[in-house]
Chains A and B, each alone.
Chain A
Amino acid sequence: ENVLTQSPGTLSLSPGERATLSCRASKSVSNSYLAWYQQKPGQPPRLLIYDVSRRATGIPDRFSGSGSGTDFTLTISRLEPEDSAVYYCQNYGSSWGTFGQGTKVELK
């Protein structure tokens, strides 16, 4: 099992600013099996990015993913008010799928 550590815990930014969220794995991620989810209060998570950098269906292009090995990044290029949420990374592998502890993005 791969342990994922997300940073920062909370990010407080203004609309229009760029958000950079980090996800560090304890072991190298194989097959680029790294995803990002967005979760708003009272809602289930929503898949944003899979296979490190592929956007899921219907996800705006202001969301992008990058990285390799053990270090990965979710970037929101221009924050919109509706981007206020908790973001989780996930490493999905054979028979398991660990999540990071989450980064909360707050809009000022």
Chain B
Amino acid sequence: EVQLVQSGAELKKPGESLKISCKTSGHIFTSYWIGWVRQMPGKGLEWMGIIYPGDSDTRYSASFQGHVTISADKASSTVYLQWSSLEASDTAMYFCARHRRPIYGTGDPFDVWGRGTEVIVSS
């Protein structure tokens, strides 16, 4: 069974850094694009970016480029989302999710999702 297990909720202050994780199992880690999706409180879904762990090829939405960094660690089959300086507007639920098809190009829907990591940024 394919599983994406996300790290726990975080409470941070503005200006702090943060790295949240998404540990995958049950599939060939290096063969599937993994993405991150933001959901602000009471709002809809926003596609942030994706990474192909096989070669760390990473693509970002223009809305998030430069504000977050997506990375992957083959040794632990884990994908990360990190911020160097959080803002209050980063308060949201963050989901990681896997593309449906292996090796396929960057255009694919997400068929397996993590349960989400809640990030609260407040002074």
Contact = CB atoms under 8 A, between A and B. Distances in A.
Interface in A28-73: 31, 33, 35, 37, 39, 43-47, 50, 56-57
A33 B107 contact: yes
A98 interface: yes
A50 B47 contact: no
Interface in B21-71: 35, 37, 44-47, 50, 59, 61-62
Contacts of B1: none
Contacts, number: 68
Contacts of B47: 90, 96-99
The residue in A88, A97, A99, A102 that gathers the most chain B C-beta atoms within 10 A of its C-beta is A97
The residue in B35, B61, B62 that gathers the most chain A C-beta atoms within 10 A of its C-beta is B61
A100 B113 contact: no
A87 to B, nearest CB: 11
Interface size for chain A: under 10, 10 to 19, 20 to 34, or 35 or more residues?
20 to 34
Nearest to A57: B111
A12 interface: no
Interface of B: 35, 37, 44-47, 50, 59, 61-62, 95, 97, 100, 105-111, 113-116
13 contacts: A1-B62, A31-B107, A44-B113, A44-B116, A45-B37, A45-B113, A46-B113, A47-B100, A47-B109, A92-B109, A97-B35, A99-B37, A101-B44
